[in-house]
Chain A
Amino acid sequence: MWERIKAAVLWCWRILSTPAATLSLGFLTLGGFLGGVIFWGAFNTALELTNTEQFCISCHEMESNVYQELTRTVHFSNRSGVRASCPDCHVPHEWTDKIARKMQASKEVWGKIFGTINTRQKFMEKRLELAQHEWARLKANDSLECRNCHSSVAMDLSRQAPRAAEIHTRYLLSGQATCIDCHKGIAHELPNMEGIDPGWKVPPELQAALEEEFPVTSHTEAEVFERLERVSHSPHGFMWAMGDIAPTLD
């Protein structure tokens, strides 16, 4: 058995390493190039096909649970007629991140084949776990998919309700919290939230780290500058005036 595999591999290697005897160099380079283009095009086309709402809801698990819930939210129908479809929020738009997410999604194929959530009951039982995966993903990438549309740079705080503006200034702009911390369940129904703290509440493990980083008792000039520096290195840029972050410094 082992001998046979070895022989087959050697045979392949011999073919690959022997110079082509009958095919011209031009045919090989051009053919290789064309083949590459066709392969790449087909690959991307297939990838994009899996990146549509149509594809997502072709599974009844998605169609009859999460999609139905989405249709009742502002991300589906609203006064300006902008709609977010499944991949807008659940698949990163950058190529490398997208491929990484797509590879992760192979587990979803497994789930589909073995019917992990093929009834409403099973789905509801698994909902918290599934939601936690998405929360963790969005937390880790600083709510990247939210920010593809909702950038904090373009956010006009003066057009928000005072309460929203204040909370955004205190938590979002200072980088203490990211969108998903507070805005859970904006497009789907929530799992049982017992024991899950509201997003504006900084979890105790982070609280300790935060206090270590920015002691609440006194603020030396150095601390303020450290904070400003951290903010200026944030991927979302440095986007407000000194006055705006003042409330976070006391």
Chain B
Amino acid sequence: MADTAAPPVPHWVVDDIRKMRAYPEQPPIIPHSIEGYQLSVNSNRCMSCHKREFTQGSGAPMISVTHYMTREGQMLADVSPRRYFCTACHVPQADTRPLIDNTFVDMSELGVGHAGDQ
């Protein structure tokens, strides 16, 4: 099999502007580069700005309140271990062409009635 040259790594979107979520439960995407950020059992670079205690100083959005809950809904003082590895759900974006075209339609355009419309 012939070697295939790797395509150049795309440039991350780094404009710090929050992107609209495609559906309410979508994990918000990261509008900045996280290149070289360490996320391990020892340290979590994301938390140094997005943790509740640091958000006033950093101006970063606080991680969602669900991240401070156990499975049973018990509130915790710090991020829940099951939510610790941010990049399991949250990823930065690059402006690239989709690999496969898709027919996603926002649910609000599907004729879903809004609460209070009746």
Q: How far is the CB of B93 from chain A (nearest CB, A)?
A: 14
| B36 on the A face (CB < 8 A) | yes
The distance in angstroms between the C-alpha atoms of A192 and B38, with both chains bound, is 11
Interface string of B25-68 (1 = CB under 8 A from A): 00000001101101011111100110000100110000000000
Query: How many residues of B sit at the interface, in one of the four size bands?
Result: 10 to 19
The distance in angstroms between the C-alpha atoms of A240 and B41, with both chains bound, is 40
Q: Tell me what chain B mostly uses at the interface: helix, strand, loop, or mixed.
A: loop
Are the CB atoms of B33 and A161 closer together than 8 Å? yes
The distance in angstroms between the C-alpha atoms of A186 and B37, with both chains bound, is 8
List residues of chain A with CB within 8 A of the CB of B75: none
Q: Which residue of chain B has the shortest Cβ distance to A202 in the bound complex?
A: B57
| Count, chain A residues at interface, CB 8 A | 16
List residues of chain B with CB within 8 A of the CB of A186: 36
List residues of chain A with CB within 8 A of the CB of B22: none
In-complex Cβ contact of B43 among A161, A192, A200, A201 (8 A) = A192
Interface residues, chain A, with chain B CB atoms under 8 Å away: 73-74, 161-163, 185-186, 189-193, 198-201
For the complex with contacts A161-B32, A186-B36, A189-B40, 6 further pairs of A-B residues with Cβ separation under 8 Å are A162-B15, A190-B42, A190-B43, A192-B43, A193-B42, A198-B48
